A and B are shown apart, each in its own frame.
Chain A
């Protein structure tokens, strides 16, 4: 089945210790997204890639970086996690193109910062 895979599902890190979250897709979609979702809040878009073009949201902290080495993979790097970065991180993909199409989400990575 074509899908969006996120690893790990649960990640524990220490305050200030860099962490990388991984996302891969078998859908061959052009666009990949990273969202942050805190409890009882709406998913918040951090950034997205359209192919290799990186699009950062204006309010995404510099502490969050992303890499997309190829179509299938996208990484979220948190350089110095703070307690406020504890959240669910969702990766999503979409086909892109001139007409809108829905986004497909992975299961998420739950990040805990100690």
Chain B
């Protein structure tokens, strides 16, 4: 069973427009969420995170929104740039429950293509 779901395998956006990547989760114990970006032939790199005590976190062009009641989060990239083209993974963790706070559960990823 997939506890973290990214239902869109791919997304194509024009340069300068907004990119919105979505993620849903089913485990109500998750209370910390992260987005990773992955270029081909490289490992994932951390992009931005959000704790469940917040509903928004912003870092430059990247904003993550969390809707706990809907168990949904989204990553907004504004404005999108061609260099943003990559696979974006949503991941979740729980700070409750002892050792599990070291573990991440990943979604399958969404391939973002930003066209010039």
Contact = CB atoms under 8 A, between A and B. Distances in A.
Interface stretch (B53-61, B66-74, B78-86, B105-113): B105-113
Of B46, B104, B105, most buried by chain A (CB within 10 Å of CB) is B104
Contacts of B107: 42
A54 to B, nearest CB: 12
A64 interface: no
By size class, the interface of chain A is 20 to 34
Contact of A48 (B32, B102, B109): B102
Interface stretch (A11-19, A67-75, A103-111): A103-111
Given A31-B102, A43-B89, A50-B102, A102 B43 contact: no
B42 A107 contact: yes
Nearest to B32: A100
A104 B45 CA distance: 7
A55 B99 contact: yes
A96 B106 contact: no
A42 B89 contact: yes
B17 interface: no
Given A100-B93, A105-B43, A50 B99 contact: yes
A45 B100 CA distance: 12
A102 B46 contact: yes
Contacts of B9: 40
A108 B44 CA distance: 9
Contacts of B49: 102
Contacts of B106: 42-44
Interface of B: 2, 4, 9, 32, 34, 36, 41-46, 49, 89, 93, 95, 99, 101-109
